[in-house]
Amino acid sequence: MTTTATTAKTPRTSAPKKRTPQPRPDSEQTRERILDSAEKLFARHGFHGTSIRDIATDADYQFALIGYHFGAKLDLMDRVLGRRAEVLNAERLAFLAQARTRSKGAPLPVRTLMEGYVGALMARASRNDAGWRNYTQLVGSAAASAEWAELTDRHFNAVAREYLGELQRSLPKVPSEALHQAFFFAVGAMVSACARPGRIETLSQGKFKSKELSTLYENLCTFLEGGFKAVASRRPESG
């Protein structure tokens, strides 16, 4: 009688999936990742259209970790606006310090002041960095809403007043109220150019391509310089 040997089949085991290393929950990398996700979603869907759960899902973290690091959603929005504002403010102040040194006490040209204030944001946004593009879009919507006036004032007004002071020295005959209005217009034009450069394409029905912010920078500075000079040359109405 013949016996047949039977061999047991060894079950196949698949190689373990490689997991992407997760930063420590209390690390700076974790906080930056949460801020990046919040910045992106706030820019795309607005503050009220974005939930903490949406941010947690996008960042691939637990819901509770957002609150652990940043508290309430409003506090998170504050930190999102403040994070890159710190970079912009430092660059604008450094530019102003260098310009003051070169001028040796003389008033600064309006064009120089516009290049310093506008250039800090536009240079960052034009580098094809998704984070800075999200941020400029967010700042654009926040600056246009009275709801965020307190936050935008807190993060941007101190440096803006430094530039306004120099503009007043450069244009001493312009009434302070008119100068503040002109600066307000300048900020609006800058934010709009950064946040919605594609509007030029829709206005021209595709004839002009202006998605690259570097192509707008020179013309915007020229436009703003001309605007301030036009305000300066305006004769006061006689009573």
pLDDT tens per residue across span 11-49 = 444 454 444 455 565 688 999 999 999 999 999 999 999
- 166 and 198 assigned to the same domain: yes
Per the domain annotation, does 17 fall within a domain? no
Going by C-alpha positions, the residue among 155, 131, 133, 132 that lies closest to residue 143 is: 155
Does residue 182 belong to any structural domain of this protein? yes
**pLDDT over 50 (residue 7):** no
Count the domains in the chain. Answer: 2
**Residue 207 per-residue DSSP state:** S
pLDDT tens string 163-215: 999 999 999 999 999 999 999 999 989 888 877 777 888 888 888 876 666 67
Give yes or no for residue 94 having a pLDDT over 80. Answer: yes
User: Are 107 and 163 within one domain?
Assistant: yes
Residues 36 and 105 grouped into a single domain: no
Phi/psi zone of residue 105: left (φ > 0), alpha (ψ -120 to 50 degrees), beta? Answer: left
38 lies in the same domain as 93: no
The CATH number of the domain where 67 resides is what?
Answer: 1.10.10.60
pLDDT range class, residue 216, cuts 50, 70, 90: confident
Among 155, 143, 117, residue whose Cα is nearest residue 195 = 143
The verdict on 39 and 110 lying in the same domain is no
> What residue numbers bound the domain in which 113 lies?
82-233
203 shares its domain with 128: yes
Q: What is the pLDDT of residue 221?
A: 94
Q: Residue 100's domain is classified under what CATH number? A: 1.10.357.10
Residue pair 39/29 in contact by the 8 Å Cβ criterion: no
What's the CA gap between 200 and 211, in Å, rounded? 8
User: Which residues 6+ apart lie within 8 Å of 117 measured at CB?
Assistant: 92, 160, 163, 186, 190
For residue 140, is it within any domain? yes
Q: Would you say residue 183 lies in a domain?
A: yes
| Residues 41 and 128 both lie in one domain | no
Name residues whose C-beta falls within 8 Å of residue 37's C-beta, 6 or more positions apart in sequence: 55, 58, 59
User: C-alpha angle 88/90/91, rounded to 5°?
Assistant: 65
Same domain, 208 and 170: yes
| C-alpha to C-alpha distances, 70 to 38, 100, 110, 197, nearest whole angstrom | 11, 38, 40, 32
Interacting residues of 186 by C-beta distance below 8 A, sequence separation 6+: 114, 117, 118, 224, 227, 228
Domain co-membership, 87 together with 205: yes
* C-alpha to C-alpha distance for 151 and 178, rounded to whole angstroms: 24
Look at 6 and 149; give whichever has higher pLDDT: 149
pLDDT digits (tens, 9 = 90+) for 104-160: 999 999 999 999 999 998 888 777 788 998 998 899 889 888 999 999 999 999 999
For residue 8, the model assigns a pLDDT of 45
Q: Model-level pTM greater than 0.85?
A: no
